[in-house]
Each structure stands twice: as structure tokens, then as C-alpha cells.
Structure 1
């Protein structure tokens, strides 16, 4: 949750050989929590989820990530506009909002911009809401960073942070529900992970992201199985095998 620095991450998938089965493509949209600020690339949650789904028998390419530390909803929209994307994707995830809250942004503006981003995510997923997963953002008020004073010397109130985090996440959950998009709550889990942080004492550690990945993987699996290529995929039951 810093001012945007550097360039957004955009990890593109490789092109398949002609005639080869096409890996399932995932687009992950977000901010520092999606790009994995402070952790190795293989520790961030989109990469972990893709690895989990491969273990479950799905051929999933490395996720394509459009995200940067510090981005708010409007900055993510600008980042998407500047990115060289190639839709449709088999599934799209959206996790955005902590910087709107951190900077004292207007809740109604966030609600409107989050809804616009969801519409864009659905369009990137071939117009199918079932192929989109929206994720809540964590409560950073439980981290060591929150105990540090503000730049003006004033203290931070973890209880007030929690109230604001809940209000912004509820707005996002409501827009997701209204759009027919799956919603995954990682906020409750984040409130048990105050000590699982990267070196900056704010962003989640690899272990914290592993727990998030466990929560997100089922929803993303469902989204991928709802994609246009679902006919070629085994069902959850069939992959267990039958006699």
C-alpha cells in the first residue's frame, strides 16, 4: 500500500504449438496482493493456485498478471487500458480496493469503479460471469506495519481500519453478487495472519498466500470448468476415477 512505483507485472503465457492442446488461460487483475509484493514469484497466490489446479488434473498456463503495488481501482483500470491483453481468457480474477481504503477514498466511488472493473473482467472472460472470481482484500490493521505511526506522527486505530476494510469489502461483495460472480473472502483468514508478513511488515508472506490459495483454488477451478473448453475437461467426480 504505497504510491505506485515501477511498472505493473504482466506475466504472459507462452503460445502453444499448432495442433497442441491449449492450456487454460487465467488473467489476474489487482494490486500488491496479486503481484505478490515482497515474495518470490512462485509464492504469490495466483501462481500457487495454478500449481494446485495442475495437481488436480487441469492444464493451466502460468497466470497473466496485470497488477502493481499501490494501485487503486482507477489506476488498475488505466493499467488494463495500457496492457497488451489477448482475451478471451478461460477465467479472470479481481482483487482490488485496499489502496482506495488506505488513502481515504470515497466508498461510493469505489463501489462504482469496482463494478466497472467486474464488467470488464466478465468481458475478458468471454462475457460469462461464471468464469470470473472476485476476492476480498485483507485486514492490514493486524500487521506490525499498522502499529507504526502515520507520517504526521498520529497513531493508527486497528479497530477503525477493520471497520473500513469490512465496508469496502462488503461493497465489492455486493457488486460481485449482483454481477453473478463468485466471491472469495480471504479477510477472515488474514485476521489470523498478523505475523505472517514479508520483510516490509505489511504485505503477506509466502505462507500467508498459501492459505489464501487454498481458499481461492476451488472457486477458480469452478470458473475454469465453466469455460468454453469445459467439454474437454473431466468433472470433479470423474477425475477421482471409477470402477
Structure 2
């Protein structure tokens, strides 16, 4: 009789624990540009959504609640979008990602502008994560200079690489200063030079194959951020 009673208590405890875990979904906000929305690929193949699925398989109940990103956005345009979005002003997310800057370089904006505005974006991301720096991560800018688009349009690949390396250096240093995780996917993006399977149909943006490798690289670090 005592054994049966203990089993009933154990089952009730187990069911209660499962219900609590089911309700304990973590919220995720992704900030960026075309690389964040996944221009030219299906939405389920974007790196952020693949990342969420990978984390699900590891027991992290994460939901991609909101994306603030548009193809072509620069740092100033993303800042404006965040400031004008009334729906997020009083919300704290459990995870915030930031990937921005390629359009600053493409339009020839000054490096100082990127540094100043990227730092502002980093501060906003921290605030949106409830001021928890360990719940924010940054993804480096991929090198589009190796894509068929760049080659066919006679873009200066060496100059693109040089300038993007400078942008990424700035982002990495600011992340280090603020204690933010920085994931350098730029080396992965270079695979597009040898294998067009890493490029989407528009010959410029990453393919689902490329995004899957980004997510594979990023996931272990983000898992460490969220597991506690």
C-alpha cells in the first residue's frame, strides 16, 4: 500500500514537472537585415529558425517570437525600426541576436558611423534582453565578395573582404567590451567561392545549405547561454 501511494505521488510530481516545463518557453528576438530574414530561401531554412530547431532537439524550449529585419537595411535603419516598434518597448526577451552592417559597406558608409551605430544597437539588444549580456549574441557579416553576383558585377572582392574584415573587427571588439558572444561565420561564407550550392538562386544570398552550417556552428554556444 505504501509502495502504491509512493508511485502515485511520483507520477503526480512527474506530470506537474512536465506541465511546468511545457509552459516555460523562452522568447527569441532576431535583429538584422536580409541575412536574418533569409532572402531568397524558404522561411524555415533561415539560420535563426534552424538554430531554434537544433536547440529544441537539445531540450531548450525556444520560440522565435519576433524578427526585426528587412533586406537592404543599414545600422541607422535598424535603429529607427527598433525605436519605432511599440510592441517591443516593454518586453524582455530571453535571447536576442544581431547581424547587421553589410549594407553599410555596400553603400559606402563611413566606418565611424558603423562603429557608433553598432554600439547603439548592441546596447538596445542588451536592454531588450532584460539587461542580461549573456542572453545576447552577434553574428559576423558574411563575405559576399565571393558570390556569383559580385563576380558577375565586377565587384572588387579584395576591397569587400578588407572592409568587411574591419567591420567585423569592430563588432568583435565591442562584443568583447560588453561581454557579448560573437560568432564568426565569415569563414563559412567563403565556401560560396568554390561551391555554388552555398548560394541562393539570386546568386548573392546564402542558400539553405549555408544557413544550416551557420546554425550548426552557432548552436553549441547559444546552448551554453540558455541551458541555465
> Which interval holds the TM-score relative to the shorter structure?
0.7 to 0.9
Give the one of 205, 210, 215 matched to 1:208.
Answer: 210
Alignment of 1:58-73 (within 5 A): 58-73=60-75
Q: 1:49 to 1:19 in 2, by over 3 A?
A: closer
Aligned to 1:144: 148
Runs of 4+ in 1 over 4 A off after TM superposition: 17-20
Match of 2:138, SS? strand
Match of 1:65, SS? strand
RMSD: 1.7
- Cα-to-partner distance string for 1:134-164 (whole Å, 9 max, x where unaligned): 1101000000000123xxxxx3211111111
Tell me if the contact between 1:133 and 1:223 (Cα under 8 Å) persists in the aligned partners.
no
Displacement after TM superposition at 1:18 (Å): 11
> Greater Rg, structure 1 or structure 2?
2
Unmatched 5+ stretches in structure 2: 1-18
Provide the rounded CA distance (Å) in 2 between the counterparts of 1:219 and 1:63.
20
Give the one of 83, 92, 96 matched to 1:92.
Answer: 96
Aligned to 2:48: 46
- Correspondence 1:166 to 2:178: no
Instruction: Write 1 or 2 for the structure with the bigger share of helix.
Output: 2
Displacement after TM superposition at 1:172 (Å): 0.8
- Cα-to-partner distance string for 1:9-62 (whole Å, 9 max, x where unaligned): xxxxxxxx9996131111110000000000001000000000000000111113
Tell me if the contact between 1:133 and 1:219 (Cα under 8 Å) persists in the aligned partners.
no
Aligned to 1:119: 123
